[in-house]
Chains A and B, each alone.
Chain A
Amino acid sequence: MKKPDFELELTRYLDGELSTEARGEFERKLESDPELAARRDELAMLVSGLGEAFAGEESVPALEPERRRAILARASRAGGERTTMSPWAMTLCLAAAAAVVVGTFLPFIDRLTRPFERRDGFEYTVLRPGAKPIDPDADEIWIGESFATRGPGRPGAEDLPAVAIYPDTLDIVEAATPDQPLPGLPLLRELKYWRGRAEQPLSPDAVPAISARDDSAAASSSFLDRAFLAVAEYPLVALPLRHESTALRILENSLGEGRLPRPGTLAVEELLNALDYGYPGPEAGEALNIGLDVHVCPWNSSHLLARLWIKGAAAGQEAGGTTVGPVAAEWGRATLEFNPAAIQAFRYVGSSKPAANDGALPRLPVRIPLPAGCEITILCELVPAGIPASEFAVARRGTPPVFEPLDNAETGGETVHFTLTYRIPGSPSAMTRSVSADALVHPFASASDSFKRAAALAVLGGAVEAGRADAGWWNLAVELAYAGSADGGTEADMLPVLARKARAAALGMRGPVAPPPGAKKPRK
């Protein structure tokens, strides 16, 4: 039996959070385990002491009379108690105003008021009623660069958590049901960050974008040449999900003709997802499994490389009370949250088309259906805190970054936090899974073979996109491809061959190129 489980159970027991059945069972355990009973007594004393500690805490000075008056005045206004007009005059004025407004702006009123309605048992809490929503018909409401999802009233999304954010005030409107009083927690977690950032709106799908000031970066679409984004400006991002394999076919076809694809034609994020990495599937009842690994970046040893992966349940498995069909999740949304105390900048390892104008971000799909058995891999290159700013280029959009410690900075020990929100077809609510990476430095050599394969494809695709002609990149791609193939597998074996062909095409080499010393020979 695991001690940590007992510890958790013990706390829940003392807090009265165990069910009657579990409580009875735990009490039997306590009777038969004196050590556990002693721990219970110890913890109970601590909990009791805490109660006393809080009770004896010095009071915070109460609200002054002026503040109380201000609150009561607002309460009266909100309740309609304080008016300077007679009720009749007020009624007439309101009726006249309503007639004009309804006749003229009925369609707009309908749009603007819809999120405030009570329907389907949802109760909306409007934090600031004066705020105006934008495009309430959209499934995802893009406001400036902020994000919100609406639930009730949307076909197929009636029971999803509903959270709306308003552009002028960045106020949040929440919808709640009696049995789900505070819905949309993952979204609220994000929205916390958008609040208070009115001067500098953030993009939740902020794939690394090219600053208009950064001409060298704009010249290439390869992530290898792209500037980083400052975590101070983008502490939380939603990353595009891709599971196509077109890029691999493009690469294979070109290499079959003895040449590399033209820069700008290979989507590295697609290339990454062309291989089968053998990720473990979800546990019974779950539709998706996720993972996060962070290692030293193979192409820059002072940086880190984070890999996020998603694995869909196989068709026929049970998930969320239903049998998985062709689609494991109706939609999935992956967010990566950086601990600003540990990471200062990042760039997405994938395509980013040069911005048409300053501030326009590429719209890559961030919420897509996830097929049964799908495997999705996302890589991000991270710059740890402490690396001098002169050693990497940062694309800045707004004000210069200032330190803005978020909640995650206080959790301590975490580098990045990966959250996947998804919805199982037929399920009434969205589900969330999350995983964090610790702040330890894990050498690249200790990475799993599948991580190395992903890194090999990143170097390969990045070098193609950047039109790199120096041997160092291609040798690195080959080396990583071999390193990632030690665990065998048909697809794994294909990678060294591909890398060697690409190197040959890039460097004008003809014939076979010797693999690195000690490398495993690819299987036929």
Chain B
Amino acid sequence: MSTTPEPGRRPLAASAIDALILDTTPWLSCEACFDQMDTYVEAVLHDPAHEDPAMAAHLRGCPACAEEADALIDLITGIPG
């Protein structure tokens, strides 16, 4: 059965569904993420198996913080931006 969205309404993409129901627990705020980002990045670079569930959950759920963490890793490892 086919459905046609009403004018002005848009279908929910699969990627949006994923983003909406992503598990971002344990809770970590953006402020705490920023506070810990330097130590987290150095810990990950020192030990790729380093685990920080709250930080990892936050970076999965916050694209802005994730981009900034990736950029910090690239910067201190010498990967060109």
Are A and B co-members of a single complex?
no
